[in-house]
Amino acid sequence: MTIKILHLYPKNMNLYGDHGNVLAIRRRLEWRGIDVEVIHHDPGDELPEDIDIIFGGGGQDSGQTVVEDDLRIITPKLKELIENGTPALVICGLYQLFGNYFETVEGQKLEGTHILDINTIGGPVRLIGNVLIDTTEFGQVVGYENHSGLTYLGDGVKPLGTVITGDGNNGKDKTEGVRYKNCIGTYLHGPILPKNPKVTDFLISKAIENKTGEAPQLKELDDTIELRAHNVSSKRPR
């Protein structure tokens, strides 16, 4: 069995260590003896048919503009994958573009994929710092945010978690990120997955379940280093 990871726009959407999320998924699969293939998708590339996990990182507004046209082309396939339960993690810039739209602070409106029922508006100040959130499924999740977009959730989705420390989606309603089917959207860089192995294993478990038709019993790993990083990060001041 080979798990195929689709890495969207690694050249344009890869800020604040986001590539480390793909590395975390790859390593936790390899440590369990499972083969991995990472497929990089840049503007103009043909989207492969067989995808098990989707990942997309963050980028500047200019990076979002570069990928916007290509993202519109591949949206129908991405939407089909998400609706069919393909696990996905999208961060910051691609989190925004997986929504309905992103309106920059200058008033430029970037049309999103409408995969996630969220809307984002550029704010006057950046929301920067360490973040700690409480989630129902993964316990406490840590990360680092650096964004000026203010994201508001629609009726069709639920938040990833509730903010303990930090600003989250918009600095007002205490929500952070989004959950829809097996798709996770979040502002948490850092990267998020090495310090939150439960989230990584969620993506892996769903990918294997989709491929085999059975929920897997994942081999336990020694997460001493990962949990130490998590605990240190959770105690860092804002």
Residues catalogued as catalytic? 92, 189
CA distance 167 to 153: 15
Contact between 87 and 17 under an 8 Å Cβ cutoff? The reply is no
- Crossing angle of helices 19-30 and 197-212, in 10° steps, is 60
Contact between 102 and 110 under an 8 Å Cβ cutoff? The reply is yes
CA distance 78 to 35: 23
Contact between 115 and 86 under an 8 Å Cβ cutoff? The reply is no
